[in-house]
Chain A
């Protein structure tokens, strides 16, 4: 069975500071990994995905994530937070690339 653990249900950073949202996964097969963002009263928007190939994945809005097989991690980073980054972020894993198992989410707050 596959699973995702997101460490930290809430993360607070100052505007301009580094954003680091942690995600660890469990999968018996090579995983497909995703990060989604959810703004209030909206659906999920894909930030980035890892399927195969380069382990450092760049996404939209300046976010990137690195697949580390040895650590079973797929942490999301952004060098400089912006107020508009405040949202809920979900890490997800899939072995078929279209049935997703989501983590419980991390709420990012950005302070001026």
Chain B
């Protein structure tokens, strides 16, 4: 079981650019959530996707957008990058039904540096 896989693992962008991060959920999982973890902080919820729809959203601006594909994989897009967007972006997957319902499995993250 490959678990949750994220790509790329590291990337560097400059202010104003756009970035796309990708996530493949754990096998059997149908829900994907994204979190932002700034240095020295706990992860903060960005949004969650289920059945290709955004189901919940945290307190993040519209510059942050996402997508879920029919195979349950997901993308996180950030436009007009700011220095403050530098962080570790974590993808987590879960299943809505069954014994493991609603228990999140996290990927190793994509570390974004904005210069």
Q: Are B31 and A98 in contact (CB under 8 A)?
A: yes
- Tell whether A42 is near chain B: CB-to-CB under 8 Å: yes
Name the contact of A103 in the complex, choosing from B40, B42, B107 (C-beta under 8 A).
B42
State whether A90 touches B90 (Cβ < 8 A): no
Query: B115: shortest Cβ distance to chain A, in Å?
Result: 21
Closest to B50 in A: A98
Q: What's the tally of chain B residues with a CB closer than 8 Å to chain A?
A: 25
Interchain CB contact under 8 A, A90 and B43: yes
Give per-residue flags for B1-25: 1 if the beta carbon is below 8 A from chain A beta carbons, else 0.
0001000000000000000000000
* Contact assessment for B90 and A43 in the assembled complex, using a CB-CB cutoff below 8 Å: yes
Tell whether B44 is near chain A: CB-to-CB under 8 Å.
yes
**Contacting residues, chain A, for B94 (C-beta < 8 A):** 98
Q: Does A83 contact B (CB under 8 A)?
A: no
Q: A78–B4 Cα gap in the complex (Å)?
A: 28
Q: Which of B4, B40, B44, B104 contacts A46 (CB 8 A)?
A: B104
Chain B's nearest CB lies how many Å from the CB of A73? 17
* Number of interface residues, chain A, beta carbon within 8 A: 22
Interface residues of B in 35-55 (CB under 8 A from A): 35, 40-45, 48
Q: Indicate which residue in A44, A90, A92, A98 contacts B48 across the interface (CB closer than 8 Å).
A: A98
- Whether A99 lies near B90 (C-beta < 8 A) is no
The answer to whether A102 and B104 touch (CB under 8 A), given A43-B90, A43-B109, A44-B90, is no
The residues of B that contact A49 with a CB separation of less than 8 Å are 103
B90 neighbours in A (Cβ, 8 Å)? 43-44
* Residue from B42, B43, B58, B106 in contact with A45 in the complex, judged by beta carbons closer than 8 Å: B106
